[in-house]
Structure formats: C-alpha cells, structure tokens
Structure 1
Amino acid sequence: MLVSVVLAFLLNFLFNSTIGLSNKPFIDPKSPRYLLLVLFRGLILGGLIAFIINYLDVIREKQRSAILIEQLKQKQLEANLSSLKEQMSPHFLFNSLNSLISIIKTDSIGAVNFVIRLSEVYRYLLQHREHQTVSLQEELDFIRSYIFLLKVRFKNNINVRFDIPENLLHTRIPPLTLQLLLENAVKHNIVSKAKPLDITINAEDDTITVGNPVQPKLSLETSNGFGLISMEEQYSMLVQKKIVIKEEEGKFKVALPLIK
C-alpha cells in the first residue's frame, strides 16, 4: 500500500509538472487548496493502484490454488487406480490358483493355456500400473484373457457377448474398469449350470455398457462398494462425467463414458 501511494504521488507530481508546462494552473500552486488537491488526487491514484495490485495478487493466488487442487486431484486419482489394482491382485490370484490346481492333473494342455492367460493378465497389470487410461482395444484384449480364466473357473457357465463397433476401439478408458464390472457380476450373482450368467458388453456413440441379469446369491460376499465409488471418482476427475448405474427389468447395467 505504501509503495502504491508513493508511486501515485510521483505520478501526480509528473502530471502536474506536465500540465504546468503547457497550461496556466487554475489554482495557485502555493495555496493550501492546491496542496489539498494534489493530496486528494494522490490518494485517489494510490487507492486505484493499490486496488489493481491487490486484484492481480488475488488472481495469482487463485491460479496457484487451482494448480494445487489439480495436483491433489491427480494424486488422488493415481491412488484410487493403484488401490483398484492392488484390490484385484490377491483375491483374483487366489481363485486362479485354485482353478489351476483343479485342472493341472487332468488336463495338462489346458493347464498350460491357463498359465499363459494368467501371465497375460498380470503382464497387463504391470504394464499399465502407472497409466490413467488405455485404449478400448487394449482393455478388451485384456478382458478376453480374464474371461478365459473365468470360464475355466466356472466350467463354461459364464458367457460374455461383445458388440463393439470398430470405430470406437481407439477411444480410451481407465484400465481395469471392465474387469471390475465383470468381477462384480460374478461376485454378486449365481453362476451355475442351472443359472448360467450371461454378460453383455456393448458400445455406441461415446458410451460402453456392461450388463448382466440379476440372479443374486443367497449368501453375498463381503463388499464395501469401494470399486464403483472409486470408478465414479476417476471419471469425475478425468473427464468431469458420471457413470450411470441402474437396475431395471431384472437387469443390472453400468454405462461408462468413452474418452476421446
């Protein structure tokens, strides 16, 4: 504030000096009225300069705050994605090893194929551990390996049908989102010979939808809903869009925005 006032008086002095060179002043420079006028004009200019300086400081502070908020959102997004990956690993590995044990003695070729697909799944996890998004083509290739393991585990009582236009394969999606939805479908629904689980994955325009019939288990596995909540947060941070979750006519569907 002091700097702005001094600057204002300096500008005021230069202004008055310039005027004095070309025009005869209306007020005697030696009179008290002239001094009051100079003082008043200096205060006005000082206040204006102080306002401009403060306004610029506020803008700079808002910019710094916005950058900090974006950095925090980025770290939160990375933490959520990392949590999803870590959440999948132990549970999924345990079930996969059990499935491998059940076939290794009776189907050696099937066991080899199972290990190959299992390695593809974990290679995907390692390769995309730090990525926020992957192409839809990459995610679908990963999902097909994951589905192979599910089919071995559930004796082909699970079916997944795809309807994905080729022109959407270049769009992007957060990694593991489709896997999470498939895992949730298996976790909460009966998968048996009497009640096979039919899952559909359809894409159109800027949305991909995963749907399955609602055939709830009698005893549900423990779930804290972290996966879907984390997925919603990821989409909110990445593209400021929401995922759509709905249950109607005996079907559960989750629609995810595709990132272009």
Structure 2
Amino acid sequence: MKSQKLKITAAVIWISSITIGLLSSVPQIAQQHFNLTEAAVNAGITSAFALLMWYVNIYIFSYQSERSPKRQISYPRLVNSLLIGIGVMFGLAWIQQLILSHINFGPVMLMIEVRGILINLVFYMFLQLLQQNYENQYVNMELERMKNDNLGAQYELLKQQVNPHFLFNSLNTLKAMVEAGDSESVDFILKLSNFYRYTLESRKLDLIKVADEMEIVKAYIFLQSARFEGGFTFKIELDEQVSETLIPPFTLQLLVENCIKHNVVSTDKPLHIRLYAEADQIIIENPVRLKTGDHNSTGVGLRNVQQRYHHLLEKQVAIVNDGKLFQVKLPLIYEHHHH
C-alpha cells in the first residue's frame, strides 16, 4: 500500500514552537524576581527544541512510513525519537548554560529534560494520529475505488449477457426460409442485421430511450415471428411520453425473450404478450403457460434485469407471479433523474 506523506505547513510548525516557548516562560514571569533575559533565553531554547523536534519527527515518520507503512504505534520509532530529543535538549541546555553562566543548571537539568520528553511525546502522538488518519483515508478511498470498479465490471458483464443460442436459432430459421424459397428471407436478413447493429450501438451506453429500445424489440419480434409463425402475439401500449423515458439497453428485449423461452408457443393457442405503462412503471405481462420441464428455470434473465437496475440506478424491479399471470414491472426513469 502506498503511504500518505505527512503534510504540515511551516506556519503551524513555527507558530506552535514559538507558543510552546512562551508558555514555558510563564512560571518565570510569575516569580517575584523576574529576569527578562532568563525568560527570553528559556523561551528561545524551548522554541528551538520544539522546532527541531517537529522536523525530526516528520522525517522519521516519512522515512519509515515509505519503507513499511503501519497503522499502529512503532515502538522502535518512538524510542529513536525520544533518544534524539534527549540529545537535542541536552545540547540546547548546554548552550543555555553558556549564555546564562551565572545559573547552576545541575538541579534544573532533570526538569529541562522532562520538559523536552513531554514536548516530544506530544509531537510524536500528534503525528502518529495524523499518519493513521491519512492511511485510513487512503484505505477507504482504495476500498471505494475497488467497489466502484467491481460494480462497473459487474455491470459490463450484465450488459454482455445475450443468449448465445439466439444467433444459432436465427441462422437455422434463415436457412429453412431460404430452402423453402420464403419471400421474406431478405427482410429477415435485414432485421437480423439491424438487430445486431442495435446491439453494438447500445452496448456502449448505460441507458437509452425507450423508443430506441423498442426498435431493438421490434427487430427481435420480427425474427421470432418468422421462426414461430404466429405462435405468439405482442401488443404494445406505450404513449409518446413513456417512449421518451430511459431504460437499460436490451431490458425489454430480454424480458420478451424470457416470455417466449419459458412458455408454450403454438399456433393453436398463441401466447399473448402485452407491454404497457401504469403508475410510473413499464409493465410486461403474459399468461403463465410453462413448457414441460421448465419449472427449474435458473432465472438468469430476470436477475440480469434486477441487478442492472440495482447497480446502475438503485431502483427495484417488481416481479409478480400468481400462477396465472406473470408480470415484470420496471420503474420509469426520467432523463433529468439520470443527469
């Protein structure tokens, strides 16, 4: 995992260092015999220590995080920071002793080192929390990106799901028509060509207008009518307003295919498929006349429709089956909602 580098502005570093230096001189200001020089030197030394430890800790975090980023406290790193801090404070205390040579620093050296350790610990823990926050944000962003990539891949797979037997069946139908000298063979070839042209064009899009989807459905219906020769009827009751709404490509075609695939289609008793709009929904329905042995259908087609609406739009597709009438209800998608 790529580590997030710490980003702390110079203004924050300098202002906080100077503030800590001034605060360290507050006890001297409160003394009865206040010495401005001693207070100023003490504030300067403390500020210098804070400034140096800011940059030391930032370097330690950045260097070690690039090698092996961690989301918990690194005790070797903490020990290194404290040892460096003790050495720096000892050196600054020696400089302070050179400036204020009249003061005996022996009794106060321990207090100075303790102050340095406390300041260093505060900086270290602050940077640790900041580093963890950066890494948590990065992990969350990566998880979100992976989630979006996964949903995108799933949706692309869903769009690619077309019955592999369709072309095979269509070519067999065309072969029979040509052998029988059927005059509609040329129309069949044109409709088949149009159908696959619509397929190639629509696969590039997440949503198309219902009117464009109906062109795909009509081409598909023509091809199936040539194959089944009056074994089913298809009634369309969609007005112009509904035709201007949006729909995932091949949704209606897949549902019509589902009706023909799973139900008995015969010239004696044609299967009636109806497509209409009601209560902000596009409804496709047919009487239930399941083929023998079709009771264990995998339901891939319906899952395809449901998952596409869920992944792309977070909308629910209603499926109603009372044993006599089968309905699939698709929520209308208006163009301004999509944008």
Q: TM-score by structure 1 length? A: 0.81
Distance 1:249 1:224 in 2: 18
**Where do 1:128-167 residues align within 5 Å?**
128-167=202-241
- Corresponding residue of 1:119: 193
Is residue 254 of structure 2 the alignment partner of residue 180 of structure 1? yes
Which residue identity lines up with residue 56 of structure 1 in the other structure? Y
Is residue 59 of structure 2 the alignment partner of residue 55 of structure 1? no
Is residue 21 of structure 2 the alignment partner of residue 17 of structure 1? yes
Distance 2:17 2:188 in 1: 87
Greater CA drift, 238-247 or 39-48 = 39-48
Give the CA deviation at 1:56: 2.8
- 1:42-71 deviation digits (Å, cap 9, x = unpaired): 423432342133213212220122012201
Distance 1:221 1:249 in 2: 12
Whether the 8 Å CA contact 1:12–1:42 is kept in 2: the answer is no
Distance 1:36 1:10 in 2: 22
Change (3 A) 1:16 1:249: closer
Identity value in percent: 29
- Corresponding residue of 2:159: 81
Q: TM-score by structure 2 length? A: 0.64
Whether the 8 Å CA contact 1:165–1:204 is kept in 2: the answer is no
Give the CA deviation at 1:26: 4.8
- 1:10-38 deviation digits (Å, cap 9, x = unpaired): 87642233346898445896634465345
Whether the 8 Å CA contact 2:283–2:328 is kept in 1: the answer is yes
Distance 2:328 2:313 in 1: 17
Whether the 8 Å CA contact 2:232–2:267 is kept in 1: the answer is no
Change (3 A) 1:221 1:116: farther
Is residue 285 of structure 2 the alignment partner of residue 211 of structure 1? yes
Which residue identity lines up with residue 114 of structure 2 in the other structure? L
- Corresponding residue of 2:124: 46
Which residue identity lines up with residue 66 of structure 1 in the other structure? E
SS in 2 for 1:109: coil
- How many residue pairs get aligned? The number is 252
SS in 1 for 2:320: strand
Give the CA deviation at 1:160: 1.2
Which residue identity lines up with residue 312 of structure 2 in the other structure? L
Whether the 8 Å CA contact 1:199–1:212 is kept in 2: the answer is yes
- 1:133-162 deviation digits (Å, cap 9, x = unpaired): 322111111101111122222222311112
Which residue identity lines up with residue 74 of structure 1 in the other structure? G
Distance 1:210 1:231 in 2: 13
* Gapped regions of structure 1 (runs ≥ 5): none
Give the CA deviation at 1:105: 5.3
Whether the 8 Å CA contact 1:171–1:258 is kept in 2: the answer is yes
Asked which structure has the greater RCO (Cα within 8 Å, sep 6+), the reply is 1
Change (3 A) 1:23 1:40: closer
Distance 1:222 1:21 in 2: 84
Is residue 269 of structure 2 the alignment partner of residue 195 of structure 1? yes
Which residue identity lines up with residue 125 of structure 2 in the other structure? G
Change (3 A) 1:244 1:114: same
- Larger CA Rg, structure 1 vs 2: 2
Which residue identity lines up with residue 115 of structure 1 in the other structure? I
* Gapped regions of structure 2 (runs ≥ 5): 1-5, 32-38, 43-104, 335-339
Is residue 308 of structure 2 the alignment partner of residue 252 of structure 1? no
Distance 1:25 1:213 in 2: 94
Change (3 A) 1:170 1:9: closer
